[in-house]
Amino acid sequence: MSASRQFASDNTAGVHPDVMRAIAEANRGHAGAYSDDPYTERAVAAFRKHFGDDCDAFLVYNGTAANVLALKSVVRTHHAVLCTEFAHIWYDECGAAEALVGCKLMPLATGNDGKLTPERVAPLFDRLGDQHGSQPRVVSISQTTEVGTVYSVSEVRTLSDLAHSRGLLLHMDGARVCNAAAALDLPLRAFTRDAGVDVLSFGGTKNGAMCAEAVVFFNRALGADFRFIRKQMLQLSSKMRFIAAQFDALLSGDLWLRNARNANTMASLLASLVRDVPGIELAREPEANAVFARLPPGCAARLRETYAFHTWDAATNEVRWMCGFDATEADVRAFADAVRRAMAR
């Protein structure tokens, strides 16, 4: 893959320069190992600034870990986690939840917007109390969703109310939670904690960090044993200060929001540039930093001669184009040109 900016994933991007600088600056002398250091203290304080003084935040290396550890904290092996059939926890983590938590994931079909709905969730509650069935314990949603849509505050609230009404918890996979905040133009807590989310996987890596994710508990009791779980689940960095510094750089100011806004804006620009190309159909309106389009036969292959990207649905020739935190207008215009050329041939 060339060093030019890509549209395959928001993980092909590097690290935002301010984050890299913070990492380098954390490299002064010795510091306590295993999160017992002032950098971690500052990072946790930044989370509390956003989410409230009485929440707890724990840093981990990557997004799969943030999801699995969040679930591990609140789920036992006889529990079920309800999610969509596109959910990262179901589809893209190589069975990590089943292997490390030991619970059952229940993948639910969705509409074109890729969202979990009360109508899909509620029937699963019929198994509550039935000893032959895994017991629903967590509803898990991705914000933004895997198809680039964004749950509104009221959609989150409806799901959290439903979950809580039957004693379940609401987990949010927030690998792109910053993009959601930018899209909704709301503070981070407005559509998470304040909308009834119980535990949040907070993503920093796609937002410009190197390897920085967190699990945020809005009810601290749920995270009471998290330190042990984190160590056991291979996520306690001995030199934690270097993860903490990344979050400090992102969250103490507004870098997280600028990065997210840029990615979203670039996706919006890309959509506008390809929307009217004859033969291309947007699979759905981009709401954050992803554009999904259905291409005519042959087009994707030609475009891949110069750009890498994922096929989302081979049956319908639907592809996914992601804009990273670092995408530029020039990148996007060049890519849109390439799309047009791939169509024209």
- Subset of residues 211 to 240 that bind a copy of itself, contact rule: CB under 8 A: 211, 225, 227-239
Q: Segment 289-318, which members bind a copy of itself (CB under 8 A)?
A: 308, 314
Nearer to a copy of itself, 45 or 61 (CB): 61
| Spatial separation of the C-alpha atoms in residues 124 and 136, rounded to whole Å | 7
> Could you tell me the sign of the dihedral formed by the alpha carbons of 153, 158, 161, 166, in that order?
negative
CA distances from 72 to 100, 222, 228 (A): 8, 10, 11
| In the complex, least distance from residue 328 CB atom to a copy of itself, rounded to whole angstroms | 12
| In the complex, least distance from residue 179 CB atom to a copy of itself, rounded to whole angstroms | 16
Nearer to a copy of itself, 77 or 154 (CB): 77
What single-letter amino acid sits at 187?
P
In terms of Cβ atoms closer than 10 Å to its own Cβ (0-12, 13-18, 19+), residue 60 is: buried
Under DSSP, is residue 161 helix (H, G, I), strand (E, B) or coil? helix
Under DSSP, is residue 219 helix (H, G, I), strand (E, B) or coil? coil
| In the complex, least distance from residue 22 CB atom to a copy of itself, rounded to whole angstroms | 12
Q: Does 52 bind a copy of itself (CB under 8 A)?
A: no
Nearer to a copy of itself, 149 or 237 (CB): 237
> Could you tell me the sign of the dihedral formed by the alpha carbons of 331, 333, 334, 339, in that order?
positive
| Spatial separation of the C-alpha atoms in residues 66 and 202, rounded to whole Å | 7
| In the complex, least distance from residue 75 CB atom to a copy of itself, rounded to whole angstroms | 11
| In the complex, least distance from residue 242 CB atom to a copy of itself, rounded to whole angstroms | 5
Choices 47-55, 110-118, 131-139, 258-266 (CB under 8 A): range interacting with a copy of itself: 131-139
Nearer to a copy of itself, 49 or 231 (CB): 231
| In the complex, least distance from residue 344 CB atom to a copy of itself, rounded to whole angstroms | 26
What single-letter amino acid sits at 135?
Q
Nearer to a copy of itself, 141 or 323 (CB): 323
Q: Segment 77-116, which members bind a copy of itself (CB under 8 A)?
A: 77-80, 91-96, 98-100, 102-105, 107
In terms of Cβ atoms closer than 10 Å to its own Cβ (0-12, 13-18, 19+), residue 256 is: buried
The 3-state DSSP composition of the chain as helix, strand, coil percent (nearest 5) reads 45, 15, 40
Neighbours of 25 (CB within 10 A): 12
Choices 27-35, 144-152, 161-169, 269-277 (CB under 8 A): range interacting with a copy of itself: 27-35
One residue of 42, 45, 125, 134 binding a copy of itself per CB under 8 A = 134
Choices 63-71, 162-170, 266-274, 284-292 (CB under 8 A): range interacting with a copy of itself: 63-71
Q: Does 32 bind a copy of itself (CB under 8 A)?
A: yes
Q: Segment 165-194, which members bind a copy of itself (CB under 8 A)?
A: none
| Spatial separation of the C-alpha atoms in residues 81 and 169, rounded to whole Å | 10
